[in-house]
Amino acid sequence: MSRASFTFAPAPELDGHPGDPLQDLLDLEEVETDLYRSRLLFADHYALYGGQVAAQALRAAGLTVPPDRLPHSLHSYFLRPGDASRPTVFQVHRDRDGRSYSARRVVAVQDGKAIFTLSASFHAAQEGPDEQVTRARPFPSPEECAPFTLPRLFSMESRSSGARKPHEIVPMRFWARSTASSAADGQLLHACVLTYLSDISSGLHAIEDDDARASASLDHAVWFHRPVRMDDWTLTEVVPHSAAGGRGWYTGSVFDTSGRLVASFTQEALFRHVRRESSA
C-alpha cells in the first residue's frame, strides 16, 4: 500500500447528503432489485482500494436483509484489480433467510468481469454470554498520540505512537475514527466503515526487508463481535504470522476505548522476493 495523492470527481448531488466522500462512497445506487452501483468515482485512473470495494459490497448485502439483522462475519476474495475511476456494480444473491440468520453473496463487477466476491452472514441480536479472552496490550491514549495520515482513506482521523519500522507505511498499532456524518447512521454503516478501515494496514510490513515485500491482497475476512461506533476512537492492532510459498498471512484486532474487542480480521496477501534489474 503506497502513499499516493489523488483527486476524485465530485460526488453526485444527493438529497440530504452534504457531499462527504465516505458517505457518498457508501451510498449506492439501486439499479434494480439486488443490483447496486457505486456513485463516487475518482477523476483519474487509480487502483481500487480493497477496503472500499469490501465496504461497498457489505453495504449492498446489508440493504437486502431485514433491518434488525446486522453483519457478524464476512469472507471475501480479490479476483482482479479494480479501477476507482469507473463504477462498480454489485450483484447480491440471497442465499438464505432463516429465523434469525441471513446469508448473502455479492459479486462486484467492472467492465463485465468479476473483480471481487464477498459472502456475509447477518444475525438478529440476541442475549448470550459475553466473555473476552483477547485483551489490548498497553498503548497510549488517542490524546497522547501524534496524528498521521492514513493513505487512500476518506474522512478518517488517525493517531499513533512510537517509531515505525522502515517498511511500515501504516503503523502496526494505531487509533482511528471516522469524521463522516454517515458514521451516525446505524450499526450497518458502522460495520461498513470498520470494513473500509480494516484493509489499510498490512501486518506483513513488519517482516518485509530489502529482498521480500507484500503486495496485492488475496482474501480478507472480518468478524464483528460487538456493536461499535466508528465515529469514536478504535485501536487497530495487526500481527504477522506466516510467509511461505509467495503468500503472507496476518491477523488484526479492533478495540474500542474501553478495551472491548469489537472486531477481528485476517488477510492473506502476495509476499514475494523483490525483482531486481540485472546489471549489464
Q: What is the pLDDT of residues 4-40, one digit of tens each?
A: 334 444 433 333 334 688 988 999 999 999 999 999 9
pLDDT at 167: 65
3-state secondary structure of 45: coil
pLDDT for 194 beyond 70: yes
Mean pLDDT for the stretch of residues 80-89? 96
pLDDT at 11: 37
Residues assigned a catalytic role: 199, 217, 267
DSSP assignment of 89-143? EEEEEEEEE-SSEEEEEEEEEETTEEEEEEEEEEEE-----------PPP---GG
Mean pLDDT for the stretch of residues 40-68? 94
> Would you say the pTM of this structure is higher than 0.85?
yes
Range name among 15-24, 156-165, 195-204 with the lowest pLDDT average: 15-24
pLDDT for 72 beyond 90: yes
Mean model confidence pLDDT for the chain: 87
* Residues facing residue 264 across a β-bridge: 223, 253
pLDDT at 70: 98
Q: Which of 204, 196, 192, 261 shows the shortest CA–CA distance to 238? A: 204
pLDDT for 268 beyond 70: yes
In angstroms, rounded to a whole number, what is the distance separating the alpha carbons of residues 67 and 61? 12
Find the distance separating the first CA and the last CA of the chain, reported in whole Å: 31
Burial class (CB in 10 A: 0-12, 13-18, 19+), 10: exposed
pLDDT at 264: 98
pLDDT at 15: 35
In angstroms, rounded to a whole number, what is the distance separating the alpha carbons of residues 199 and 170? 11
Q: Which fold has domain 21-125+141-273?
A: Porin (2.40.160)
Mean pLDDT for the stretch of residues 267-271? 89
More confident residue, 6 or 149: 149
pLDDT at 6: 40
User: Would you tell me how many other CB atoms lie within 10 Å of the CB of residue 6?
Assistant: 14
In angstroms, rounded to a whole number, what is the distance separating the alpha carbons of residues 37 and 247? 32
